[in-house]
Amino acid sequence: MNKIETGRNEQWREELRKSLKAKERADIPRVKMPELDAEYRSHSYDEVNQGLSLEQALTESKRCLDCLDPQCITGCPVEINIPKFIKNIERNEILEAAKTLKDTSALPAVCGRVCPQEKQCESKCIHLKMKKEAVAIGYLERFAADFAIENSCHSALDAESPVQGMADQVRHDNKSKGIKIAVVGSGPAGLSFAGDMAKFGYDVTVFEALHEIGGVLKYGIPEFRLPNAIVNVEINSLQQMGVKFITNCIVGKTISYENLHEQGFKGIFVASGAGLPNFMNIAGENLAGVLSSNEYLTRVNLMNAYKKEADTPVFLGKKVAVIGGGNTAMDSVRTARRLGAEKAMIIYRRSEEEMPARVEEIKHAKEEGVIFLTLHNPVQYIGDEKGHVKQMILQKMELGEPDASGRCKPVEIPGATETIDVDMVVVSIGVSPNPLVPSAFSGLNVSKWGTIIVNQDTMQTGLSDVYAGGDIVRGGATVILAMGDGRKAAAAMNQSFNKN
Ligand SMILES: Cc1cc2nc3c(=O)[nH]c(=O)nc-3n(C[C@H](O)[C@H](O)[C@H](O)COP(=O)(O)OP(=O)(O)OC[C@H]3O[C@@H](n4cnc5c(N)ncnc54)[C@H](O)[C@@H]3O)c2cc1C
């Protein structure tokens, strides 16, 4: 990381740095995110985290020491210039802070809400070495991004507004190239790729299988964690840049690889995600009332299935067991709680320490009354006379030696089982890539896990005009990694067109 990139040659940052001693900065306590009352929110879809006030953000920004060798940047998968955006907040130049974020992150308002900062940028914060709490980088990211959104929305016709200004610029550039590019899937990988390609001046069309744009950001992550309005702002900004969206169109079924060529698309980015749920293949998994988290969350988030009058209403369980310990499991169990579950349980075969979910999600789930049955693993579901799940048998586990993932392996305790009453089970033990695109694009190299194999530097696949990124390449990963792939692929595809 060079020093110019981190912006430390700027005069104002040197002055800011001298304005307060490092110890004084370090002694400021970390800000607390204002959040809705736990009892209220366990019945409400309102966003739990309320966002920092300007005053809180200004104070928190002072905690950043603007290190000469900022390790936080190395902890961010897209290498946001973190000290620079935070120091812009400190001098109350919030739109500048948002611009710094946008330089490297296509969706900062999303990432500020859902990135696992505690495992990424914040885990590298120098404060941790001083036994202090890390700077709240994620909260500040969200603050700056939301501020920019609010100000852009309030002055939509203002050419100075970051979104509008960029859209005008891109519309102008678009005329100059006229090369058609197709994107398969409108999740974070597809959106970030589309944004960058539009900025480079390509004519970008995103094909989306579902009726809504946004991928997991819309159909997976619930409103109480990531409001659709936030995702819509980002989508609108892409539309303003000239990106076209075609929904209800399954590439590989509705339209083939060959059709895309016939329609003149010269480059394709596959960002079809990993939407195929895994099951445990245990007895009783076919009973009514047992479903995957993908089905559950998609039906609730996209199809209003929680309403009785919905075309395909979802069963509203009162004793709901969610199997798994990741973000998807937490989203499912907290959704079940909001939909009236009196007993909403997480069943996880390891201990809480090994849970892959964000620490904040686990904390919020507990506050909302979710019961955690860790070191328990389902071995069988039992149905009633109508074929609806009524009980599950759990095997009790203990932790053994670390396995290949580095986490302690769960080991069965012989003979220790427990039967509990349930009326709904949501299986949330991971996802696999959707096999449709890999099989419909003949010539793609596919791994044994079903992921598309790409050149890691360019995201180009075995087919020279096809690039791929996000979960279809990585398996279930994260929003920021998917976005990073989209950006990398856009840069590489653009370079290849420029060469020819
Ligand atoms: C419930 C849940 C919670 C999560 N929480 C977090 C979190 O807190 N933090 C985090 O960083 N990550 C989280 N993740 C993971 C993260 O959302 C994903 O890693 C990320 O969305 C992957 O982005 P993507 O663009 O590759 O795919 P997706 O977001 O899955 O988007 C793929 C899109 O492609 C479409 N598609 C698929 N096949 C076709 C086709 N043939 N033709 C046209 N369109 C197609 C799909 O309908 C979908 O809209 C979560 C995931 C889930 C499911």
- What φ, ψ does residue 16 adopt, rounded to 5°? -60, -40
Separation of CA 277 and ligand 1 centre (Å): 12
Burial class (CB in 10 A: 0-12, 13-18, 19+), 379: middle
Expressed in angstroms and rounded, the spacing between residue 63 Cα and the centre of ligand 1 is 34
Indicate the pTM of the whole model. Answer: 0.91
Q: Residue 216 C-alpha to ligand 1 middle, in angstroms?
A: 4
384 alpha carbon – ligand 1 mean position (Å): 35
In the reported structure, the alpha carbon of residue 480 is separated from the centroid of ligand 1 by a whole-number distance in angstroms of: 11
Is any atom of ligand 1 closer than 6 Å to the C-beta of 438?
A: no
For the segment 200-241, what is each residue's pLDDT rounded down to a tens digit?
A: 999 999 999 999 999 999 999 999 999 999 999 989 989 999
Q: How far does residue 7's CA lie from ligand 1's centre (Å)?
A: 33
Whether 319 and 421 have beta carbons less than 8 Å apart is answered as: yes
Atom of ligand 1 nearest to the CA of 252: 41
Res 156 pLDDT > 70: no
> Which residue's CA is the closest to the ligand 1 atom numbered 14?
478
Give pLDDT, residue 4.
40
Q: Say how many Å lie between the CA of residue 31 and the centre of ligand 1.
A: 31
Amino acid at 327: N
Quick check: CB of 451 below 6 Å from ligand 1? no
- Rounded-to-integer distance, Cα 387 and Cα 83, Å: 57
Contact 411, 397 (CB under 8 A): yes
Mutate to test the pocket of ligand 1, among 272, 297, 427, 459 (most ligand atoms within 8 A of CB): 272
471 lines ligand 1 (CB under 6 A): yes
Distance, in Å, from the CA atom of 243 to the CA atom of 204, rounded to the nearest integer, reads: 5
Is pLDDT at 163 greater than 60 in this prediction?
Answer: no
> Which of 454, 479, 487 maximizes ligand 1 atoms within 8 Å of its Cβ, making it the mutation to test the pocket?
479
Query: pLDDT band for position 131 (50/70/90)?
Result: very high
Q: How far is the CA of 215 from the centre of ligand 1 (A)?
A: 5
What does the CA dihedral 452, 455, 457, 458 come to, rounded to 10 degrees?
A: -80
Helices 137-154 and 82-90 pack at an angle, to 10 degrees, of 60
Q: Is 147 exposed, middle or buried (0-12, 13-18, 19+ CB in 10 A)?
A: buried
Identify which has the larger pLDDT, 183 or 405: 183
Residue 401: its H or E element: strand 389-402
Q: Are strands 290-292 and 319-323 parallel, antiparallel or unpaired?
A: unpaired
Residue of minimum CA distance from atom 5 in ligand 1: 327
CA 434 – CA 155 distance, rounded (Å) = 41
Q: How confident is the model at residue 175 (pLDDT cuts 50, 70, 90)?
A: low
CA distance linking residue 204 with residue 262, whole number of Å: 16
Asked whether 459 and 473 are in contact (CB, 8 A), the reply is yes
Q: Which two tokens stand for residue 99?
A: 């611009």
Structure tokens at 385: 């006379």
Higher pLDDT among residues 268 and 404, named by residue: 268
**Does 155 have pLDDT greater than 50?**
no
Q: Which ranges in 241-352 belong to alpha helices (H)? A: 257-262, 293-303, 327-338
Query: What is the rounded distance in angstroms from the CA atom of residue 59 to the CA atom of residue 109?
Result: 20
Tokens read off for 105: 């992150």
Residue 173 has pLDDT above 60, yes or no: no
Closest CA to ligand 1's atom 2: 328
Q: Is the CB of 114 under 6 A from ligand 1?
A: yes
Give 344 Cα–ligand 1 centroid separation in angstroms. Answer: 25
Distance 221 CA to ligand 1 centre (A): 9
H/E run at residue 108: helix 108-114
Other C-beta atoms closer than 10 Å to the C-beta of 14 total: 12
pLDDT (0 to 100) of residue 200: 95
State yes or no: pLDDT of 407 exceeds 90. Answer: no
Ligand 1 neighbour 482 (Cβ under 6 A): yes
N-to-C CA span, the chain: 31
The least confident of 152-161, 361-370, 409-418 is 152-161
What average pLDDT does range 478-497 have in this prediction? Answer: 95
Please work out whether the CB of residue 360 comes within 6 Å of at least one atom of ligand 1. Answer: no
Of all protein residues, the one whose alpha carbon is nearest to atom 53 of ligand 1 is: 220
- Probe target for ligand 1 pocket from 228, 327, 331, 362, with the most ligand atoms within 8 Å of CB: 327
What type of residue is 362?
Answer: I
